[in-house]
Amino acid sequence: MSPPEYMLIDPVIFRLGPLEFRWYGLMYLFAFGVAYLIIRNEVKRKNGPIPVEASGDFLFYLVLGLLLGARVGYVIFYNLPVYIHRPWEVFAVWHGGMSFHGGLIGMILSGLIFSIKRKASFLELADIGALAAPLGLMLGRIGNFINGELFGRATYLPWGMVFPEGGNISRHPSQLYEALLEGPILFAILWVMRTKVKSPGDILAIFLFCYGIFRFTAEFFREPDPQLGFILSGLTMGQILCVAMSFTGFALFIYLRPKTGSDGKNT
């Protein structure tokens, strides 16, 4: 029986001498562009918490926090023993290794710094940033798919695909599952809720809760990181982090609910 065939998508758009222009990098550029448009639109709609012309500065802080946090998060959560023995590899970003959860922490910290410098409401800014995230996440997952990385577990389903780095077996295109769940579905939920919630920080809380659930579910179809495998009762590191993320979102949503005093009025 001959090995299954696969369609290879070239991750390089075109080459110019020694330079390579990749789809993955283009997806990041698209993601940042979409995020800027959403941030600017929300700042105008809400008439705050920052001037419209500061939207680009806010995005710059978020992107910086994302890139730094994603790398540090990968080092800590996914491959710490390797980097302890070879610390110089921390800076070898061309070898890959980025963590969404680390990037999220980085964006929260950079957003907090921005809010302090601008004397703006952190929770209002966090809501805007959360709304801008899903479509960028979708584009990032599509980039993962084109790169043939972060592929799924083995499957006999008819839409299974063979990835060059995954051996000659059919696998779930789990990057596309995540792109759908973390992208348009999550964005639609946040887009509808943005005009219904009352407390600043609610959109952030809903984002944390829903993303955690969606990613936790998608991880059942994704091949675990080879250096970690399954960690706790068949769960992956990503799922463990998502449980903490969803719990944090739920706790934040409850904490932000208006308190009722003894006179029956909200406090």
**Alpha-carbon dihedral sign for residues 186, 72, 93, 37:** positive
Contacts of 161 (CB under 8 A, 6+ apart): 6, 7, 151, 170, 171, 173
C-beta neighbour count of 13 within 10 angstroms: 13
pTM for this model (two decimals): 0.89
Task: Write down the residue that tokens 């000659």 correspond to.
Answer: 168
Domain boundaries, the chain: 12-255
Tokens of residue 208, six digits: 């944390």
At residue 220, the pLDDT reads 95
User: What pLDDT does 71 receive?
Assistant: 86
Burial per residue of 168-205, b for 16 or more beta-carbon CB atoms within 10 angstroms, e otherwise: eebbbbbbbbbbebbbeebbebbeebbeebeebbbbbb
Query: Is the pLDDT reported for residue 15 higher than 50?
Result: yes
pLDDT band at 260 (very low <50, low <70, confident <90, very high): low
Give the span between the Cα atoms of 81 and 151, in whole angstroms: 24
The whole-angstrom separation of Cα 127 and Cα 201 is: 6
- The alpha-helical segments, DSSP class H, found in the chain are 23-46, 55-78, 80-85, 100-118, 122-147, 174-180, 186-193, 202-218, 237-255
pLDDT at residue 5 greater than cutoff 80: no
Q: How much of the chain, in percent, has pLDDT values that exceed 90? A: 63
For residue range 153-203, what is the model confidence (pLDDT) as tens digits? 999 999 999 998 888 899 999 999 999 999 999 999 999 999 998 899 999
pLDDT (0 to 100) of residue 95: 58
Asked if the model's pLDDT at residue 4 lies above 60, the reply is no
pLDDT at position 24: 83
Instruction: For residue range 32-86, list pLDDT tens digits in order.
Output: 999 999 999 999 999 989 999 999 999 999 999 999 998 888 888 777 777 777 7
pLDDT band at 3 (very low <50, low <70, confident <90, very high): very low
